[in-house]
């Protein structure tokens, strides 16, 4: 069962993915649903009563719509922290579908590896084919775990060495749909999961919330993340979904430039994964098991 506890209640207005709070109260509420996550449109329980329609989540809480009379009532934001009145909050109203790195992932630069959260606009990053390109923007999104992707689409952890010797150099954590370049094919991380050396991250690893980052360059590129070729941002999702979209707007205006996906095959599921790549992964898993057994 998915359970979420909040400490503050806000009335306000909700339009076009933005909630603007104007009345606040410090009252605790407990939300729960039968599954392992909350899905937009579902009727969820508030203090045990099925009276709320879940709309989406923001950086500190969730938006629900009053459904106590079976209709479409007012919107409310329930938060773990106090908010400023009249400060609009961007609300995520779909499953997480952003190609991102989790905090701590080291990105290759000419001056050495840099944690993704420390990258800035203009930072030069290394591409897999040996070029350097400047970062156009670093998007950031906070995901409240219980309202994020369900268990089958949680972020993926690739253990050090799971793709080859020192690849990745350290554990690499990315969102499920983030693609890595393997044998000339873009393979989304979720398609690589074998539940041993490449697996879904657990609640304990993710915590109550986690932050993901996307690196945007002028074109869709393949850069190095823990020495693994990994894609940069491509226009499969709006930048407005990110917590810091205002920074992008301040830099480049309210128009969203199109980043066209590179012309490479994309593997989205395990059943599409070429057998040659699967054999490579199985071989690496066996090698890591032998290494661990020898060390023991």
**Nearest 10 degrees: Cα torsion 195, 162, 204, 245:** -110
Share of the chain above pLDDT 70, in %: 90
Q: Find the range with the poorest average confidence among 5-19, 22-36, 71-85, 107-121.
A: 22-36
The pLDDT value given to residue 194: 94
pTM over 0.85: no
pLDDT at 74 over 60: yes
The pLDDT value given to residue 185: 94
Q: Find the range with the poorest average confidence among 10-19, 212-221, 286-295.
A: 286-295
**Residues forming beta bridges with residue 12, ordered by sequence position:** 21
The pLDDT value given to residue 286: 92
The pLDDT value given to residue 237: 62
pLDDT at 150 over 80: no
Q: Which residue has the higher pLDDT, 239 or 174?
A: 174
Residue 73 contacts residue 54 (beta carbons within 8 Å): no
pLDDT at 98 over 70: no
The pLDDT value given to residue 257: 73
Residue 230 contacts residue 158 (beta carbons within 8 Å): no
Report d(CA 102, CA 212) in Å as an integer. 5
Average per-residue pLDDT for the chain: 86
The pLDDT value given to residue 267: 93
The pLDDT value given to residue 41: 83
pLDDT at 293 over 90: no
Report d(CA 272, CA 102) in Å as an integer. 25
Q: How many residues does the chain have?
A: 296
Share of the chain above pLDDT 90, in %: 45
pLDDT, one tens digit per residue, over 21-42 is 888 888 888 877 665 567 788 8
pLDDT at 14 over 50: yes
H/E run at residue 293: helix 275-295
- pLDDT grade, residue 96 (50/70/90)? very low
Q: Which residue has the higher pLDDT, 70 or 125?
A: 125
The token duo for 61 is 């809480």
From the DSSP assignment, how many helices (H) and strands (E) are in the chain? 3, 24
Q: Find the range with the poorest average confidence among 29-38, 39-48, 184-193.
A: 29-38
Alpha-carbon distances of 23 from 6, 8, 11, 77, 203, rounded to whole Å: 16, 10, 5, 10, 33
Report d(CA 235, CA 158) in Å as an integer. 25
Q: Which residue has the higher pLDDT, 239 or 85?
A: 239
pLDDT, one tens digit per residue, over 267-292 is 989 999 999 999 999 999 998 888 87
The pLDDT value given to residue 220: 94
């Amino acid at each position: 069962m998915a359970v979420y506890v909040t400490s503050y209640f806000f009335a306000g207005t909700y339009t076009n993915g933005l909630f603007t709070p104007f009345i606040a109260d410090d009252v605790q509420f407990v939300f729960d649903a039968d599954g392992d996550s909350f899905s937009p449109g579902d009727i969820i329980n508030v203090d045990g009563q099925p009276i709320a329609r879940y709309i989406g989540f923001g950086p500190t809480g969730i938006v629900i719509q009053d459904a106590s009379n079976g209709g479409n009532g007012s919107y409310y934001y329930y938060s773990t922290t106090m908010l400023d009145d009249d400060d609009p909050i961007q609300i995520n109203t779909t499953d997480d579908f952003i190609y991102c790195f989790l905090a701590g992932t080291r990105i290759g630069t000419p001056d050495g590896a840099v944690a993704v959260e420390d990258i800035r606009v203009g930072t030069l990053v290394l591409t897999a084919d040996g070029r350097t390109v400047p970062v156009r923007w670093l998007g950031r999104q906070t995901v409240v775990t219980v309202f994020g992707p369900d268990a089958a689409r949680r972020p993926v952890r690739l253990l050090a060495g799971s793709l080859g010797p020192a690849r990745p150099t350290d554990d690499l954590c990315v969102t499920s749909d983030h693609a890595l370049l393997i044998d000339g094919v873009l393979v989304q991380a979720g398609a690589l999961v074998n539940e041993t050396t490449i697996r879904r991250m657990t609640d304990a690893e993710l915590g109550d919330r986690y932050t993901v980052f996307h690196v945007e360059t002028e074109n869709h590129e393949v850069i190095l993340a823990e020495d693994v070729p990994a894609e940069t941002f491509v226009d499969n999702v709006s930048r407005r979904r990110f917590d810091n979209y205002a920074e992008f707007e301040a830099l480049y205006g309210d128009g969203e430039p199109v980043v066209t996906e590179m012309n490479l095959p994309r593997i989205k599921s395990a059943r599409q994964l070429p057998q040659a790549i699967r054999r490579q992964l199985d071989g690496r898993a066996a090698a890591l098991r032998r290494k661990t057994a020898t060390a023991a």
